[in-house]
Amino acid sequence: MKYLAPGIWRLKEFPAPTINCYLAEDVLIDAGRTWDRRRIFAELEGREITMLALTHVHPDHQGAAKDVCEARGIPLACHAGDVDAMEGRRPVQEASASNPFNRMIASIWQGPPYKVERVLTDGDEVAGFRVVHTPGHSRGHVLFFRESDRVVICGDVIRNMSYATGLPGIKEPPPLFTYDMEENRRSIRKLADLNPSLILPGHGPAMADMSAFERFVSKLPG
């Protein structure tokens, strides 16, 4: 694991952080794709885990959720807006669900439905972080914000990599995967209003250059 801030680690992924899972104290944040099961189990070996909390229910974040929760006997948590998707009553990927690329991703990355035991709402506390509802990429997307040092685990509100080249760079999530782009831009501004000191995204390396983030936000449409 890579240490990022007090009590926060990013699980290893070779050759670069592409689809991120974080450990915040004893809570696992996100569960990658189905095929990330092996690396997640290896990274967590010997560590006590009390809960798995999802930033959102998409195939690259909920893939190994069932396996992790069953193997460790821990509850699964996600926002109320994504419970139906996690439990199989609504498509996991609502944006462009019939698109052939999204259908392929669902077939190889998406994990099975699983019961959500803890339903998160705005303002809840998880491992010392405050839950902030940031819809747009999905209905129930959340970020986790720690007041004491302004560290944010932001899921896919933004990303810090190009999916085409793999190189770092602050970008919006693609429309192909995003339920409501305008709503997500409002969520990006909500993230900016938290005045973060370190942003830990769902895709790409950590962001510590807040001036670059502020420039990105200032150029958003609308």
CA 26 to chain centre: 17
Nearest residue to 132 via CA among 102, 155, 110, 98: 155
Verdict on whether the full-model pTM lies above 0.75: yes
Per-residue pLDDT of the chain (222 residues; tens, 9 = 90+): 999 999 999 999 988 899 999 999 999 999 999 999 999 999 999 999 999 999 999 999 999 999 999 999 999 999 999 999 999 999 999 999 899 999 999 999 999 999 999 999 999 999 999 999 999 999 999 999 999 999 999 999 999 999 989 999 999 999 999 999 999 999 999 999 999 999 999 999 999 999 999 999 999 997
Ordered by start, the domain boundaries in the chain are: 2-218
In angstroms, the CA 12 to CA 17 distance is: 7
Query: In CATH, what class is 2-218?
Result: alpha beta
CA-based end-to-end distance of the chain: 39
